[in-house]
Chains A and B, each alone.
Chain A
Amino acid sequence: MSEDSDFEKFQDALAELLASGLTQAQILETLKTDSRFDCYREYVDSFEPDMVAVACELMGRWAKRKE
């Protein structure tokens, strides 16, 4: 089985974090410090807090978890 790519690891971590139910401040802090986001560090550092809040709300409203 092949090793997960950076893109796969990044997307899995981002979805998990946004759907985690953590507070917005905790999510923003995790985005800044968690090594799973290092491969796209410059991109993640440019995330706007308002938009991260929207992403969390979208997750809460529409996301269906895998069974």
Chain B
Amino acid sequence: MLTVPGKKPKLGLSLMPSEDFREATQELFAIDKVEVVEWSFDFALTGAEVDVWSAQILDRFSAKSALLGHGVNLSTLSARFSERQEKWLAYTRSEFESRRYVHASEHFGFSEAGPIAHGAPLAVPMTAESLKRGKEMLKRYADAVQCPVGLENLAFAFCMEDVKRQGEFIDQLISAVDGFLLLDAHNIYCQVENFGVSERELLDSYPLSKVREIHLSGGSWSFSESGARLAVRRDTHDDAVPQEVFNIATLALKLCPNIEYVILERLAYTMMEPEQQEGFREDFETIVEILELCYV
């Protein structure tokens, strides 16, 4: 395996405040294998409670400047700027004043519009107007968090245009805040499977020199009602990381010279069985091995 010049990225986990996540990961935390923690800091706004164990981890990683913020519900590319988003930004500002985050990311796409307050992000038409709205929102986000801001590539696409143009569009968006790209390897895999594009071609359509963080996760398949494909790959974060995603992440490590963080994700309450928790730790160890092999 070809080694990558540069410093080995820190490996970490996306923290989930749930019992199954604690059981799966406490051993990794206990032996200091987890170098960085990512936290979806806006969980609290949806009524989720943070248990004592999770809060202690957040404080510990904040104290050693190893805490990454990952917003979920800003709705970066909403056409309108809503009162809910204003409140979200105010909450985020206070959260980033109370804990020391290294950087802050959000998702490409919109989740608030019409009758919907928030949900899963969906693709937008990539036009001068959506670019303008997105840049304005990223500037508000950067102002609230007072640290580097980035965007994560979206798994979901309505059509091939969404797939082919997303990288270039994200580049234009993050340029407004001198931001970074959070490259989600499983989201790339979803588009490779669902739209029949090559992983190398797709990766090359992104601003790879601006990748500062990588995500790995698993997902699931759903039935293709149209019959246009065997099945539809979904970014559900509820299963082990497939080999294809490890391969994409390894390729990305070679192509992206400025990666600082690699994060393994898994949705809460999807590792209720001991075998699933063991599988999660095995995924973590596989990433450890990939990093050791990739970096001098």
Contact = CB atoms under 8 A, between A and B. Distances in A.
**Chain A interface residue number, banded:** 35 or more
A43 B161 contact: yes
A47 B127 contact: no
Interface in B105-164: 110-120, 122, 124-125, 127, 129-130, 133, 156-161
Interface string B161-204: 10000000000000000000000000000000010000000000
Contacts of B117: 63-67
**Chain B interface residue number, banded:** 35 or more
Contacts of B120: 58-59, 61-63
A42 to B, nearest CB: 9
A62 B119 contact: yes
Given A15-B116, A64-B117, A55 B158 contact: yes
B98 interface: no
Interface stretch (B221-229, B254-262, B278-286): B221-229
Nearest to B224: A50
Contact of A55 (B79, B113, B122, B129): B122
Contacts of A40: 125
B130 A7 contact: yes
Nearest to A45: B159
Interface string B52-96: 000000000000000000000000001110001000000000000
Given A5-B129, A14-B113, A57-B222, A51 B118 contact: no
A10 to B, nearest CB: 7
Secondary structure at the A interface, as helix, strand, loop or mixed, is helix
Given A7-B79, A58-B122, A48 B159 contact: yes
B232 interface: yes
A13 B122 CA distance: 14
Contacts of B114: 11-16, 19
Contacts of A66: 84, 115-117
Interface in A1-55: 5-8, 10-16, 18-19, 24, 40, 43, 46-55
Contacts of B234: 54
Interface of B: 46, 78-80, 84, 110-120, 122, 124-125, 127, 129-130, 133, 156-161, 194, 222, 224-226, 228-229, 232, 234
15 contacts: A7-B130, A10-B79, A14-B122, A15-B115, A49-B225, A51-B157, A51-B194, A53-B226, A55-B122, A63-B116, A63-B120, A66-B84, A66-B115, A66-B116, A66-B117
What are the 10 A-B residue pairs with the smallest beta carbon separation, nearest first?
A: A63-B119, A15-B114, A12-B114, A15-B113, A46-B159, A11-B113, A58-B120, A8-B79, A16-B114, A62-B119
